Amino acid sequence: MKIILLGGTKDSINIIQHLKETLDCHILTTTTTEYGAKLAQEGGSDETIARPLPKEEIKEIIINENYDLLIDATHPFASHITQTSSSISRELDLPYIRFERPSTNLEGVDTSNIHYADSFDDAGKMIADDFSEGNVLHFAGANTMEDILNHVAVERFYPRILKVESSIEKCERLGVDPSHIIPMTGAASLEENLELIEKYDAGVMITKESGEVGGVIEKIQAANEKNVAIVMIQRPKIDGLDENDIVSNLEELDIKLKNFF
């Protein structure tokens, strides 16, 4: 079986390893960064492409290389690529699976410090209006910084990002001091989050509602312990995505594969 996997997340690495253990398959993983491609290769992907791919190029690869299945395991906030991949599957009549990590289970968690926003622009406005004390820890990726910095002074802004060329260039363009950049190698532990709040005198943290895999619980716990606010951006609703195409764990993935093949 030939599988094209849209990856770049921890979930996608788990999927590669699982598929290689359970199926006789060839996997091409696409990611937007060299770092993501490196992790996919280490996870067992047969091929990788490390750059954003336009819709027509994805279709061309699928048609020319006779792929049997498209799995979208991109981030829950990568709504554009999910819309694109689901439309590709319909146009090519290709089996399609959207692997989407479940939302964070906040049952029993103190959520009193969480303030929800529908977009990063709204988050920036909220911070400017309501959280003017202390610095801002940005735990939501390099691509979302500009929307925040349209409203928040760059002097109080500390992003935790992958130290890859594209992200560093974004920081330079936006005027983020190199000493403010916090290198990221994965989800931070509770202890690491506590250290960051103290070290950078944070008054507010920005995070996506990216699920437990993204370390959301540890961020909330740290914020509660230090009594700082969390501005949490809620997941986008993705138009055109059939709920029947969505799985949220490897067991559901296996069931879907059996139904297809």
DSSP string covering 154-223: GGGEEEEE---HHHHHHHHHHT--GGG-EE-SSPPPHHHHHHHHHHTTEEEEEEE---GGGTHHHHHHHH
DSSP for 100-149, please give it.
-PPPP--TTS--TTEEEESSHHHHHHHHHHH--SSEEEEES-GGGHHHHH
Q: Are residues 186 and 256 in the same domain?
A: no
The verdict on 37 and 127 lying in the same domain is no
Residue 256: per-residue pLDDT: 95
- Indicate whether 71 and 135 sit together in one domain: no
Q: What is the pLDDT of residue 8?
A: 87
As a whole number of angstroms, the distance between CA 243 and CA 155 comes to: 43
Q: Which residues, 6+ apart, have CB-to-CB distance to 179 below 8 Å?
A: none
64, amino acid identity: N
With respect to residue 107, please indicate whether it lies within any of the assigned structural domains: no
Helix (H, G, I), strand (E, B) or coil at 230: strand
Same domain, 188 and 225: yes
Give a yes or no: residue 211 inside a domain: yes
Q: Give whole-number Cα distances, 206 to 92, 153, 171, 239, in Å.
A: 39, 15, 17, 25
70 part of a folded domain: yes
Task: Calculate the alpha carbon distances from 239 to 70, 102, 227, 242, 243 in Å.
Answer: 18, 18, 37, 9, 11
The 8-class DSSP code of residue 77 comes to T
Q: Is the same domain home to 153 and 135?
A: yes
Domain that holds residue 251: 2-102+238-260
Residue 235 has which token pair? 């997941």
Domain shared by 96 and 145, yes or no: no
Residue 83 contacts by C-beta under 8 Å, 6 or more apart in sequence? 238, 239, 240, 241
**Does the CA dihedral 169-174-177-182 come out positive or negative?**
negative
Task: For residue 243, give Cα distances in angstroms to 234, 237, 240.
Answer: 18, 11, 9
For each of the chain's 261 residues, which pLDDT tens digit applies? Answer: 999 999 988 899 999 999 999 999 999 999 988 888 999 999 999 999 999 999 999 999 999 999 999 999 998 888 889 999 999 999 999 999 999 887 778 888 899 999 999 999 999 999 999 999 999 999 998 999 999 999 999 999 999 998 888 899 999 999 999 999 999 877 789 999 999 999 999 999 999 987 766 688 999 999 999 999 999 999 888 877 888 999 999 999 999 999 998
Task: Give the pLDDT of residue 178.
Answer: 95
The model carries a pTM of 0.73
15 belongs to a structural domain: yes
User: Are 81 and 142 within one domain?
Assistant: no
Task: Tell me how many domains the chain contains.
Answer: 2
